[in-house]
Amino acid sequence: MFTFDGPNKLIILDAGTTQVSVSDIYSRWKDWASDVDNSKFVRAFEDSVGGNPLGGGVLLGAYYFLTNGWLVRPQEADHTLIVEGNLFPVPDTAGLFAPTIGSFNVLIAQRTSSLTQQVIVDPADAAAEIATAVWTEDLSGAQTLDTSGDMLKKAKQNSAVSVALSA
Ordered by start, the domain boundaries in the chain are: 2-119, 123-166
Burial 56-92 (b: 16+ CB within 10 A, else e): eeebebbbbbbbeebbbbbbbeebebebebbbbbeee
Tell me the per-residue pLDDT of 55-83, one tens digit each, with 9 for 90 and over: 877 778 889 999 999 999 999 999 999 99
Q: For residue 80, what pLDDT is reported?
A: 97
Dihedral, 52, 55, 58, 64 alpha carbons, nearest 10: -20
Q: For residue 142, what pLDDT is reported?
A: 60
Tell me the per-residue pLDDT of 29-44, one tens digit each, with 9 for 90 and over: 999 999 989 999 999 9
**Contact, 13 vs 72, CB < 8 A?**
yes
pTM of model > 0.75: no
User: How many angstroms separate the CA atoms of 143 and 160, rounded?
Assistant: 19
Q: What is the mean pLDDT of the chain?
A: 85
